Structures are given as structure tokens and as C-alpha cells.
């Protein structure tokens, strides 16, 4: 029987603005699930609701309506967080620390024993090709080196579920290849990976299933091997573009209809 790692049902999230004094809806009742061992891709244009969705899964936000369970517990549960790794799109690094000290800091947050932490940090720096930079201050790291260190940080607690938000950001082609290989290796270990990325070629190669958001709504979802049966990421690109363009057309037509109805109602009143 397939084990569900993530289950989201009727997920609605409203953001409230003190300036406008009214809520804006970021997510409109989305439903999805992620199974153990999957690489699941969340796609969508900027502002589609991807970051909001991820924050809800991590327990950084609470849903306005609906429910989220992660690893068998409500999102944000302490037992859940202990089994999660997370690389945000724009991670913050303590520039005065060395890479070794940085990983020690996060390992201590997860209560990793000192002896195991030292060995784990060494292995992870080797994994992300930073084994010669452990004693180097982070302020001297390039953007690509910081991204590699961020991935090492996300794996320090040997998590069962890993959230990666644009993991290839700032990497050159060699770095992108290395990160793809790391993700495939994690999948082979039975890890579950929730991936946000705009790089459809990487999504095509890495993901088992994808979901596309547009203006807070799920507009398409499916297995990558069915969407891109030829293995060419252009098939996925076409699928993505068609789904987004169709959804945007429907949105614009609905907005125009709503405005027309509003004008008609106003005339009826007068």
C-alpha cells in the first residue's frame, strides 16, 4: 500500500492587508497528495501561489480553510519538522561562520549527536563538492557555493521529506548537473522530495508528478512520463504553457463578465 507523505484537502489561504482593509485570496481550495519516495514538482508563473503552498506545508502559515497533513501529522507538528529538510529560494547565511560551523549550528538545532554530526557534515560537504571549503568563511563563498551549502544544510538531519525551492538557482551547468544527481540519489534512498522550479528541463528529468498553479488554483496535474512521453522537456513546456494560457484566458473572460454584470446591476438600480 502506498504511503501518503503529504495530503492537502480544500486548501484555502487568504492574506489580509492592513492598508486595503480586506483579504486577498492566495489559494482557492486546492487538493493534492504526495506519496513516499516521489519527486513532486510544483510549477506555476510568479505569484501563482507556490510559495504560499510550501509555507502551509511547512507550518509557517495556517490555512484559512482546509487541512494539511505531513508525514502523518498536522503541518508544523514538532515530530514532522524533525523529519523535514528545507532549502528556501533565498536562504540566509551567517557570513561570519565557516561552512563547518554553519552545518554544526543546524545540526545542533536537530540535536544530532556531536560525533555523528562531525561525520555527517564531512559527508555532506563531499556530496556537494565543498569538501575543501569547510574552514572557509561563508562571506567568501560564491553564489553557487552558497547554494551547494544550502543543500547540505537541508540534509543535515537525514530527513525523510525534503523541500527544495529553486535548488539550481545561481548554479552553472556543472553545478546543475551535480544537484540533479544528488536529487536522484536521494530518491534512490527512498526520500520524498517536494520541488519548486522554473527550470522545466530539470523538472522533466527529476519529477515523477507535477501540479501547475495559476492564480491560486490548480489548473493541471499529472505524471511526467505521460505528459512528456518522448522524454523531451519541450513536451512538458508545451503542456505548461497551454495550461497557464488557458487558465489566464478563462480568468480574463470571467473578470470581464463580472465587470459587465456589475455595471448592469448598477444601471438596474438607478
pLDDT > 90? residue 255? no
Q: pLDDT category, 265, cuts 50, 70, 90? A: very low
Please tell me the predicted confidence (pLDDT) of residue 231.
83
Tell me the average pLDDT across 6-28.
Answer: 87
Distance CA 8, CA 30 (A): 7
Please tell me the predicted confidence (pLDDT) of residue 266.
44
Tell me the average pLDDT across 208-233.
Answer: 94
Contacts of 195 (CB under 8 A, 6+ apart): 39, 40, 41, 42, 164, 167, 183, 203, 206, 207
- The separation between the first and the last C-alpha atoms of the chain, rounded to the nearest angstrom, is 63
Please tell me the predicted confidence (pLDDT) of residue 144.
87
Q: pLDDT category, 261, cuts 50, 70, 90? A: low
Please tell me the predicted confidence (pLDDT) of residue 258.
53
pLDDT > 50? residue 63? yes
Q: pLDDT category, 269, cuts 50, 70, 90? A: very low
- Is pLDDT larger for residue 142 or for residue 258? 142
Tell me the average pLDDT across 10-16.
Answer: 92
Please tell me the predicted confidence (pLDDT) of residue 217.
96
DSSP code for 231: S
Rounded to 5°, angle at Cα 91 from 210 and 77:
65
Q: What is the per-residue pLDDT across 160-190, written as a single tens digit (0 to 9) for each?
A: 999 999 888 778 888 889 889 999 999 999 9
Distance CA 192, CA 3 (A): 11
Q: pLDDT category, 20, cuts 50, 70, 90? A: low
Q: What is the per-residue pLDDT across 113-150, written as a single tens digit (0 to 9) for each?
A: 998 999 999 999 999 999 999 999 999 998 889 999 99
For the chain, list the domains and their CATH numbers.
Answer: 4-83+159-269 (3.40.50.300), 98-152 (no CATH)
DSSP code for 40: E
Q: What is the per-residue pLDDT across 43-61, written as a single tens digit (0 to 9) for each?
A: 999 989 999 999 999 999 9
Amino acid at each position: 500500500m502506498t504511503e501518503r507523505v503529504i495530503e492537502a484537502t480544500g486548501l484555502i489561504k487568504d492574506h489580509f492587508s492592513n492598508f486595503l482593509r480586506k483579504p486577498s485570496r492566495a489559494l482557492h481550495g486546492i487538493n493534492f497528495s504526495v506519496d513516499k519516495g516521489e519527486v513532486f514538482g510544483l510549477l506555476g508563473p510568479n505569484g501563482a501561489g507556490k510559495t504560499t503552498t510550501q509555507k502551509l506545508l511547512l507550518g509557517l502559515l495556517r490555512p484559512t480553510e482546509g487541512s494539511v497533513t505531513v508525514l502523518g501529522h498536522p503541518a508544523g507538528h514538532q515530530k514532522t519538522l524533525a523529519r523535514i529538510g528545507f532549502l528556501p529560494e533565498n536562504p540566509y547565511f551567517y557570513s561570519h561562520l565557516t561552512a563547518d560551523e554553519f552545518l554544526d549550528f543546524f545540526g545542533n538545532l536537530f540535536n544530532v549527536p556531536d560525533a555523528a554530526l562531525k561525520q555527517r557534515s564531512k559527508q555532506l560537504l563531499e556530496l556537494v563538492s565543498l569538501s575543501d571549503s569547510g574552514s572557509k568563511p561563508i562571506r567568501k563563498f560564491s553564489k553557487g557555493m552558497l547554494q551547494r551549502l544550502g543543500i547540505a544544510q537541508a540534509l543535515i538531519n537525514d530527513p525523510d521529506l525534503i523541500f527544495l525551492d529553486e535548488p539550481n538557482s545561481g548554479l552553472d551547468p556543472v553545478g546543475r548537473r551535480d544537484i540533479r544527481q544528488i536529487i536522484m540519489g536521494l530518491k534512490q534512498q527512498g526520500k520524498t522530495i517536494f520541488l519548486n522550479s522554473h527550470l522545466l528541463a530539470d523538472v522533466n528529468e527529476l519529477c515523477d508528478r507535477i501540479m501547475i498553479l495559476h492564480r491560486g488554483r490548480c489548473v493541471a496535474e499529472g505524471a511526467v512520463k505521460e505528459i512528456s512521453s518522448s522524454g523531451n522537456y519541450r513536451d512538458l513546456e508545451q503542456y505548461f504553457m497551454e495550461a497557464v494560457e488557458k487558465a489566464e484566458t478563462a480568468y480574463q473572460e470571467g473578470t470581464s463578465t463580472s465587470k459587465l454584470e456589475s455595471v448592469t446591476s448598477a444601471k438596474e438600480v438607478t
